[in-house]
Chains A and B, each alone.
Chain A
Amino acid sequence: MFTGLMRTMILYILIIAGVRLMGKRQVGELEPSELVLSLIIADLASVPMQDYGIPLLTGIVPILTLMSLTMILSVLTMKSVRFRAVLCGRPSIIVQNGTLDQKEMAKTRLTLDELLEELRCKGYTDLSQIKYAILETNGQLSVLPFANQKPPTARDLKVSVEEGGLPRVVVSDGRLLEGNLKLLGHDRPWLDRQLTQRGCRDVSQVFLLLVDETDAVYFAKKES
């Protein structure tokens, strides 16, 4: 029992560290090599966790090997376009100027139902609205509508809008984040004034206080 507990902890920490080292992309968007890695690692880790007759190292060594190989492959894919194309494939244009490319669909083994479902998920029900639909190497479908189907932007409408800036959390659940307050160029008296204006005496009464670069404040009082 103790062996199982310790092995699970070691393998779990090892995998978390590995995934963290591989970067954020690993978690959200899996390339083929990364998907394979995730599947194999899960299996490799579970075997020595359950079978105490196998040394822990027989699980750790393949995991470390896989992580090293993945790291090498990810650096090589960054450095070489050709290598990236071989390992990850190339994006496929499925819809061009509102017309389906049936050969490309067959090549990528994308069924009509799957394509229409993806398009509906992205808010498109009419293929004639779509200039390009591209199946990316991570399996996601990117949809680019015709220019006349895109919602107008402020620039298109020739409207002047103010930049809001990045809001930073200054008070979170009654705790003051002094680092963020300093980054915004404010001090404690400024914060106290803001709190007084909103009927609070102390940060402990504040649930959330956000301040952006233009000094716009979002305030939420803590419910008693």
Chain B
Amino acid sequence: MSCVKRLYIAAGLLVLLLAVSLTNAWYAQSITGDMREQLRQAQELAEREDWSRAEALTRQVYEDWQGHHFYFHTLMRHSDTDQVLRAFRQVLEYLQLQEPDQYNAANADLMAQLELLAEMEQATVVNVL
């Protein structure tokens, strides 16, 4: 293999890795952003005492999370994804029990965890340092 060819392959691989990592950052932000928005809407429904719709919406977000299981499991730290899963289960339980205070706290925690999960993947100086 010629030197120039090696150089192109290596540079190409680096560019590819960079492109994949930036795409991943955008994708993680996009998925978790949508989830957080839906969880926020569910919280508004719960505040209006519409527990059944709040639960249905949260369950939909949970199913969406499960639908992206492969992606999250292969790219994120398992301890972080497991924590999000536990938080989802907790929120769903509080929704069934219709406990507003407990639910609000658990939902806020879940949204924060989702935000942190995506933030970890962002191409920022803070993350690099």
Do A71 and B77 touch across chains, with their CB atoms under 8 A apart?
no
State in angstroms the CA–CA spacing of A57 and B17 once bound together: 11
Contacts of B78 in A (CB 8 A): 52-55
State in angstroms the CA–CA spacing of A57 and B74 once bound together: 7
Q: How far is the CB of B77 from chain A (nearest CB, A)?
A: 6
State in angstroms the CA–CA spacing of A53 and B7 once bound together: 35
**Choice from B4, B13, B76 contacting A68 with Cβ under 8 Å:** B13
**A64 contacts chain B at the CB level, 8 A cutoff:** yes
Known: A71-B7, A75-B6, A78-B3. Contact between A55 and B76, CB under 8 A? Answer: yes
State in angstroms the CA–CA spacing of A69 and B78 once bound together: 29
CB-CB contacts below 8 Å: A63-89 with B: 64-65, 67-69, 71-72, 74-76, 78-79
**Choice from A53, A54, A79 contacting B3 with Cβ under 8 Å:** A79
**B124 contacts chain A at the CB level, 8 A cutoff:** no
Q: How far is the CB of A14 from chain B (nearest CB, A)?
A: 13
Number of A-B contacts (CB under 8 A): 49
Do A55 and B10 touch across chains, with their CB atoms under 8 A apart?
no
Do B7 and A72 touch across chains, with their CB atoms under 8 A apart?
yes
Q: How far is the CB of B88 from chain A (nearest CB, A)?
A: 19
**B79 contacts chain A at the CB level, 8 A cutoff:** yes
State in angstroms the CA–CA spacing of A52 and B79 once bound together: 10
Known: A65-B14, A65-B17. Contact between A56 and B74, CB under 8 A? Answer: yes
Chain A, residue nearest B76 (CB): A55
**Choice from B6, B11, B14, B79 contacting A53 with Cβ under 8 Å:** B79
Q: How far is the CB of B31 from chain A (nearest CB, A)?
A: 16
Chain A, residue nearest B73 (CB): A55
**B19 contacts chain A at the CB level, 8 A cutoff:** no
Do A68 and B77 touch across chains, with their CB atoms under 8 A apart?
no
State in angstroms the CA–CA spacing of A83 and B15 once bound together: 22
Do B74 and A72 touch across chains, with their CB atoms under 8 A apart?
no
Q: Among A57, A69, A71, which residue has the most Cβ atoms of chain B within 10 A?
A: A71
Contacts of A53 in B (CB 8 A): 77-79
Do B79 and A57 touch across chains, with their CB atoms under 8 A apart?
no
Known: A64-B13, A65-B17. Contact between A55 and B75, CB under 8 A? Answer: yes
State in angstroms the CA–CA spacing of A76 and B11 once bound together: 12
**B9 contacts chain A at the CB level, 8 A cutoff:** yes
Do B10 and A68 touch across chains, with their CB atoms under 8 A apart?
yes
State in angstroms the CA–CA spacing of A74 and B7 once bound together: 9
State in angstroms the CA–CA spacing of A61 and B20 once bound together: 10
Do B7 and A75 touch across chains, with their CB atoms under 8 A apart?
yes
Residues of chain B at the chain A interface (Cβ within 8 Å): 3-4, 6-7, 9-11, 13-14, 17, 21, 73-79
Could you name 13 residue pairs across A and B whose Cβ atoms are closer than 8 Å? A54-B77, A55-B73, A55-B78, A56-B74, A64-B13, A67-B10, A67-B13, A68-B10, A68-B11, A69-B14, A72-B11, A75-B6, A75-B7
Residues of chain A at the chain B interface (Cβ within 8 Å): 21, 52-58, 61, 64-65, 67-69, 71-72, 74-76, 78-79
Listed from nearest, the 9 A-B pairs whose CB atoms lie closest are A71-B10, A68-B10, A75-B7, A53-B78, A68-B13, A68-B14, A72-B10, A75-B3, A55-B74
